[in-house]
């Protein structure tokens, strides 16, 4: 186990990168083969800026949190801290429960980012994208990323989540964020089946609608369960999936939403 932990600590970034690049490649190909919607803006310009924001966020996180969430997992595990270190539960069950609870925390956090004005100022950078494809899934303002990391680290510490659970959760979160933001046309039957377990592109696309009721629904990133349990589930959009308008109703201006500088300044506009 110690050798595995050492391997994870030394290769955590590479492990996550392999999974990220894998899903990025697969979804890029599928968006080309089976696109759901015709994009409105210049794809390459959007991609360059959205991906540039990813590099900036990654650099900031590596400077501020050198060991990221994995380091907290090691710390709590080595010092027997956190709730799950006080109960005799099998490792497998602990991992599963931690992943589920962390996913619930992400759901709650997402709802708060929509309801508390201070958080919304930064989260609206994600929603200001006027198109919806896989790069939308990692388009977040650096300050939101930093706040999210503090929340994640805090609950990993409280739970005493094992390192393996943290790594698996991080991989699932980044993988499904790319998947459910992708511009792919899943057959209705497959989408309906997948929705019983995970958030699908059609389900989450509704969350990026300009209509307030739809914008404030379908908050889930991984498990679709939470939106049904907490009554925030919208099954279909008011307009069709292909005709619905993406983005913010009062910010349909590519001059203010596409460039990385515009995204960084957006929370500070009056």
At residue 154 the predicted structure's pLDDT band, cuts being 50, 70 and 90, is: very high
pLDDT, position 122? 97
Q: How far apart are CA 215 and CA 211, in angstroms?
A: 6
What is the Cα 11 distance to its own chain's centre? 22
Residue 67 has pLDDT above 70, yes or no: no
Q: In Å, what is the CA distance from 87 to each residue of 91, 148, 166, 261?
A: 11, 28, 18, 48
Please give the Cα distance from 19 to 22 (Å, whole number). Answer: 5
Note the pLDDT tens digit of each residue in 34-47: 999 999 998 999 99
Residue of higher predicted confidence among 240 and 16: 240
The overall average pLDDT reported for the chain is: 91
**What's the pTM value of the predicted model, to 2 decimals?**
0.91
Q: How confident is the model at residue 31 (pLDDT cuts 50, 70, 90)?
A: very high
pLDDT at 27: 96
Taking only Cα atoms into account, the Rg of the chain, rounded to an integer number of angstroms, comes to: 19
- The mean per-residue pLDDT over the stretch 145-156 comes to 93
Report which of residues 166 and 73 the model is more confident about.
166
CA distance 97 to 246: 35
What's the rounded mean pLDDT across residues 4-32? 83
Residue 232 near residue 219 (C-beta atoms within 8 A): yes
User: Could you tell me which residue, 147 or 73, shows the higher pLDDT?
Assistant: 147
pLDDT, tens digit (0-9, with 9 covering 90-100), for 74-117 = 788 777 888 888 888 888 899 999 999 999 999 999 999 999 99
Structure tokens at 250: 């009062």
Among candidate residues 49, 9, 58, 46, the one with its CA nearest the CA of residue 174: 58
Question: In whole angstroms, what is the distance from residue 166 CA to residue 153 CA?
Answer: 10
Q: Which residues contact 17 (CB under 8 A, 6 or more apart)?
A: none
Confidence of residue 149 (pLDDT cuts 50, 70, 90): very high
Query: Residue 1: pLDDT above 60?
Result: no
How do residues 177-202 score in pLDDT, each as one tens digit?
A: 999 999 999 999 999 999 999 999 99
pLDDT score, position 269? 80
pLDDT at 71: 75
Q: Report the pLDDT value the prediction gives residue 188, as an integer from 0 to 100.
A: 93
H-type alpha helices, 68-141: 68-78, 91-115, 117-127
Q: Per the structure block, which two tokens stand in for 13? A: 């970034």
Distance CA 112, CA 34 (A): 34
Q: What is the reported pLDDT for 10?
A: 66
- Of 196, 192, 178, whose CA–CA distance to 136 is shortest? 178
- Say what the pLDDT of residue 234 is: 96
Q: Which residue has the higher pLDDT, 172 or 14?
A: 172
pLDDT at res. 78: 76
Asked if the model's pLDDT at residue 6 lies above 70, the reply is no
Number of H helices, E strands in the chain: 13, 0
Please give the biggest Cα pair distance in the chain: 56
CA dihedral 112, 113, 114, 117 (to 10 degrees): 100
Q: Which stretch of 61-65, 116-120, 167-171, 181-185 has the lowest confidence by average pLDDT?
A: 61-65
pLDDT range class, residue 9, cuts 50, 70, 90? low
Q: What is the C-alpha to C-alpha distance for residues 128 and 124, in angstroms, rounded to an integer?
A: 6
Q: In which residue are the tokens 């540039």 written?
A: 52
Whether the CB-CB separation of 112 and 232 falls below 8 Å is answered with: no
CB 237 within 8 A of CB 209: yes
Nearest in space to 225 (alpha carbons), one of 196, 190, 200, 205: 196
């Amino acid at each position: 186990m110690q050798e595995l932990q050492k391997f994870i600590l030394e290769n955590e970034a590479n492990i996550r990168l392999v999974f990220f690049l894998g899903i990025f490649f697969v979804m890029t190909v599928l968006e080309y083969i089976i696109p759901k919607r015709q994009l409105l803006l210049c794809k390459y310009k959007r991609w360059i800026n959205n991906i540039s924001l990813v590099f900036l966020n990654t650099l900031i996180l590596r400077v501020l949190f050198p060991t990221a969430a994995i380091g907290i997992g090691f710390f709590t595990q080595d010092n027997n801290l956190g709730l799950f270190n006080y109960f005799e539960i099998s490792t497998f069950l602990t991992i599963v429960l931690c992943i589920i609870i962390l996913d619930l925390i992400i759901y709650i956090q997402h709802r708060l980012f929509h309801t508390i004005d201070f958080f919304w100022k930064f989260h609206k950078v994600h929603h200001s994208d006027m198109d919806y494809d896989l790069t939308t899934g990692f388009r977040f303002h650096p300050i939101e990323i930093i706040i999210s990391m503090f929340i994640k680290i805090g609950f990993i510490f409280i739970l005493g989540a094992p390192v393996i659970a943290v790594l698996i959760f991080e991989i699932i979160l980044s993988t499904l964020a790319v998947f459910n933001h992708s511009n792919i046309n899943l057959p209705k039957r497959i989408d309906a089946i997948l929705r019983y377990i995970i958030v699908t592109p059609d389900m989450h696309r509704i969350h990026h609608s300009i209509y307030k009721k739809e914008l404030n629904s379908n908050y889930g990133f991984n498990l679709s369960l939470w939106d049904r349990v907490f009554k925030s589930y919208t099954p279909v959009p008011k307009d069709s999936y292909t005709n619905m308008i993406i983005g913010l109703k009062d910010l349909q201006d590519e001059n203010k939403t596409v460039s990385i500088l515009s995204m960084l300044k957006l929370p500070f506009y009056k």
